[in-house]
Amino acid sequence: MKILKSRRRYTTYMSGLAAVALAALAMSGCGTGLLGTAAGPSAVNLRTAGNYAILAKSGISNVSTSAITGDLGLSPAQGSYITGFSLTQDSSTVFDTSSQVTGKLYAANYGVPTPATLTSAIADMQTAYTDAAGRSSPDHTELGAGEIGGLTLKPGLYKWGTGVDISINVTLSGGSSDVWIFQIGQGLTLATGAKVVLSGGAQAKNVFWQCAGDITVNSTAVLQGIALSQTAIALKTGATANGRLFAQTDVSLEQSTVTEP
Ligand X SMILES: *[C@@H]1O[C@H](CO)[C@@H](O)[C@H](O)[C@H]1NC(C)=O
Q: Within a 10 A sphere around the Cβ of 27, how many other Cβ atoms?
A: 17
Q: Read off the DSSP letter of residue 131.
A: H
**Among 5-13, 154-162, 190-198, 203-211, the segment contacting ligand X (CB under 6 A):** 190-198
At residue 105, the 3 state secondary structure works out as strand
Q: Which lies closer to ligand X via its Cβ, residue 25 or residue 63?
A: 63
CB of 167 to ligand X, least distance (A): 6
Query: Pattern 147-186, binding to ligand X, x per CB under 6 A?
Result: ---------------------xx-----------------
Q: Where does residue 91 rank: exposed (0-12), middle (13-18), buried (19+ CB within 10 A)?
A: exposed
CB of 12 to ligand X, least distance (A): 37
End-to-end CA distance of the chain: 32
The partner residues of 209 in beta bridges, in order of sequence, read: 182, 227
Restricting to residues 82-121, name those near ligand X by CB under 6 A: 84-86, 98, 100-101
Residue 209 contacts by C-beta under 8 Å, 6 or more apart in sequence? 182, 184, 188, 215, 223, 225, 226, 227, 228
CB of 87 to ligand X, least distance (A): 8
Query: Pattern 219-248, binding to ligand X, x per CB under 6 A?
Result: -----------------x------------
Amino acid type, 227: A
What is the total count of residues that contact ligand X (CB under 6 A)? 21
**Among 32-40, 71-79, 80-88, 110-118, the segment contacting ligand X (CB under 6 A):** 80-88
Q: Are strands 215-217 and 233-235 parallel, antiparallel or unpaired?
A: parallel
Q: What distance in Å separates the CA atoms of residue 138 and residue 14, rounded to the nearest whole number?
A: 22
Indicate which single residue of 32, 51, 62, 248 sits in contact with ligand X (rule: CB under 6 A): 62
Indicate which single residue of 11, 42, 45, 64 sits in contact with ligand X (rule: CB under 6 A): 64
Where on the chain is the footprint of ligand X (CB under 6 A)?
62-66, 84-86, 98, 100-101, 168-169, 189, 191-192, 195, 197, 216, 218, 236
